[in-house]
Structure 1
């Protein structure tokens, strides 16, 4: 229990361990809640439960990140990263099943494969000078880009949407990485831009899925499961 209560000073904005030592980092988590709310409304009546689950996880990302940037504890870090991991796994499953048309058992197998994929890629990114700080996240835009490349003929609009999402995530990861290196020049840090861009990016990824599923329902479109 004591380990979970240990406090962590991980970001430029934080100067002590008081609750509001990271006000901008804490409050910009509203971007996740706003994106979740907007997408929840856009999904109304669409009959896409997987997308609804993504919205719920997106809201939990905002709440968990707020807890981490206020309490600055190990348990807060777990509350921050757990819904992110769950969102990634859910999206991999949804993309594998509904973008690629895999049967559920195969989509689950691909989703499980993300774990060894990350286990291989994270140490590789950690060994690189710039990428090491955010090594746990860099395999994600790489995977999104791979899906975009593979879908460019099968579902070109979806592929373009995924490519935009990968680019936005790369930009947000850049700001996350620069938080400490630029701290002397920018005392506020740049981590809050990671929140703002990531809220936009994750909301966009849900929108890409929503659009793909609605296109599949049009007359003459290939049949498949609706998430």
Structure 2
């Protein structure tokens, strides 16, 4: 068992031997996660909303950086777990927070949604392997595992950008049929205004801002995932690979996710 856990892993273009500093760029680029964690923590404190979940997520970003550093220096099986487990914890913790904060789900419903997302996440790769008869993990350089996170981000953003009710009355002439045109138009205007005051049929500014923010983060995540996927393919022309760019951009992704959540809570408080 000890030999298994200490078995060396050569997974990235930059690594040419099992040495500690065989991936210096990949290893040191994890400092971006520590910077992102510090900036996210500072943002939470400036908001002064007592946002404990966002603080915990900020701390988790730092753990992601440390775990990834261990993997890109030690490069053995146990350090792979130090790399992937914090990332998975962040993904599921943020999904749970999104269900609670953006959609006001109770804790039971939010946990059920998170478990369903986890089941989809864990089942996607085996299902695609069965359909294609090939290892989709190998085809995507291990990046397929992050595809459900992008889909989840896009789905949450779409939910935030969807109006909660119809704009305007369903029957424009109801109750106004005996009025002349000018009075009818005035009545419709008052009804529409009343609905706006009640918050129906409109996209709440805080929800719109959060939805657009998450769409932007999802786009950045997709770009960063592209660099992760291309790492081995560019080895013949760029021996350093592109995995370090994944680290830099993904640190921005994690910071952006926390920033969106903090802004949304501040608007709601």
CA contact (8 A) 1:147 1:159 kept: yes
Q: 2:156 aligns with which of 139, 147, 150?
A: 147
Confirm or deny that 1:172 pairs with 2:224. yes
Counterpart of 2:121 in structure 1 is 118
| Number of residue equivalences | 217
Tell me by how many angstroms 1:109 deviates: 1.0
Counterpart of 1:7 in structure 2 is 8
* 1:135 partner SS: helix
Tell me by how many angstroms 1:124 deviates: 5.2
Superposed, 1:74-113 pairs within 5 Å as 74-113=77-116
CA contact (8 A) 2:60 2:90 kept: yes
Q: Evaluate the alpha carbon distance shift between residue 125 and residue 50 of structure 1 in structure 2; reply closer, same or farther with a 3 A threshold.
A: farther
Confirm or deny that 1:156 pairs with 2:156. no
Q: 2:76 aligns with which of 67, 70, 73?
A: 73
1:90-138 Cα deviation digits (max 9, x unpaired): 1011000110000111111111112211123233566569646311111
Counterpart of 1:197 in structure 2 is 249
* 1:187 partner SS: coil
Q: Evaluate the alpha carbon distance shift between residue 132 and residue 8 of structure 1 in structure 2; reply closer, same or farther with a 3 A threshold.
A: closer
Counterpart of 1:212 in structure 2 is 264
More off after superposition, 114-123 vs 57-66: 114-123
Confirm or deny that 1:137 pairs with 2:146. yes
CA contact (8 A) 2:44 2:262 kept: yes
* 1:6 partner SS: coil
* 2:235 partner SS: coil
> Which aligned segments of 4 or more residues in structure 1 are displaced greater than 3 angstroms?
123-133
TM-score (norm 1): 0.91
In structure 2, stretches of 5+ residues that fail to align are 164-206
Q: CA RMSD in A?
A: 1.5
TM-score (norm 2): 0.77
1:141-190 Cα deviation digits (max 9, x unpaired): 01100111111035111110110111111101100000001110111100
Q: Distance in 2 between matches of 1:101 and 1:32?
A: 29
Q: Distance in 1 between matches of 2:139 and 2:68?
A: 23
